[in-house]
Copies of this chain bind each other. A is one copy, B any other.
């Protein structure tokens, strides 16, 4: 049986395609008897609208792409979930694009060979510079996510990393910690994300009257927990003796936990640790992880707000928005001074 088209329904119901379209879209100004007639024809034929035709006629697909480094990183998977949920509430579906954190793929994302697949893209770059982003083809609306520097012309939603990092240091200092390490700054140069968190780290130390000791900044790869573990292990074995470690993300904190316990250091008794992102795992670990949590729902809401405005034709300057965050205090760095 060939696919049923709108015109088949129209023929059977004895009306024009336009009227069927009106019924399908729930248009109110349709005579009740007409609506029933059409609906019966739809049911009888088992008609379902074909989106390919709709997409071509409307010039829209009601799909947006979410482009970020890697779905296997829990933060991004959880981000995708909350954005998918919000998008779905607005009648949009999500297409995933993993960049693998390679600049080539990031470029490809912004200058797609093909047009018309999605109505807009939410993009969290790792390497693309502000300049390059500013020069991308403007025919598909883009909203940037994350810590990279955004050009003035492009919308951007993020949390205040500097304030959050300072807040973490404040929390650790308030609980009696004095030698707070940072894990870790990428070599040869820290990522934009690490840079901002380092600035906040330093601001926090200064605000608390603690010395800023470069030897407490661990350098190394942040690729995964194992890399962070190795970096911290090397620093500890070289004599670094922190009483707290501010980790740049939860995976690094997981690695830190292992490096510390392998050396007989108890968390939080000997060393407190904090993570960042508050992935689901953070609350299930043992000890559970104190972590910085972005307001994911707000992030998703604002990002989609901005993107849909662009899709609807807004073409002004980039809006740069900051959404809320909080420090979720758990066992790994409790509020009270640890014994």
Q: Which residues of A contact B (CB under 8 A)?
A: 3, 48-53, 55-56, 59, 61, 63, 70-72, 74, 77-78, 80-81, 84-85, 93-98, 112-117, 139, 224-226, 229, 251, 254-255, 257-258, 261-262, 280-281, 283-286
**A114 / chain B contacts, CB cutoff of 8 Å:** 48-51
A265: shortest Cβ distance to chain B, in Å?
12
Whether A52 lies near B84 (C-beta < 8 A) is no
Whether B94 lies near A95 (C-beta < 8 A) is yes
Whether A50 lies near B116 (C-beta < 8 A) is yes
User: Which of B85, B94, B281 is the one whose CB lies under 8 Å from A281?
Assistant: B281
User: Which of B51, B115, B255 is the one whose CB lies under 8 Å from A116?
Assistant: B51
Distance in angstroms between the alpha carbons of A279 and B226 in the assembled complex:
14
Count this chain's copies in the assembly.
Answer: 2
**A72 / chain B contacts, CB cutoff of 8 Å:** 77-78, 81, 280
Whether A95 lies near B95 (C-beta < 8 A) is yes
**A261 / chain B contacts, CB cutoff of 8 Å:** 286
Given contact pairs A281-B254, A284-B225, A115 touches B3 in the complex (Cβ within 8 A): yes
User: Which of B77, B97, B117, B262 is the one whose CB lies under 8 Å from A71?
Assistant: B77
**A84 / chain B contacts, CB cutoff of 8 Å:** 71, 96, 98
Distance in angstroms between the alpha carbons of A139 and B94 in the assembled complex:
22
Whether A255 lies near B226 (C-beta < 8 A) is no
A106: shortest Cβ distance to chain B, in Å?
15
**A70 / chain B contacts, CB cutoff of 8 Å:** 81
**A226 / chain B contacts, CB cutoff of 8 Å:** 283-284
Whether B52 lies near A59 (C-beta < 8 A) is yes
User: Which of B71, B116, B224, B284 is the one whose CB lies under 8 Å from A258?
Assistant: B284
Distance in angstroms between the alpha carbons of A50 and B52 in the assembled complex:
12
Whether B283 lies near A257 (C-beta < 8 A) is no
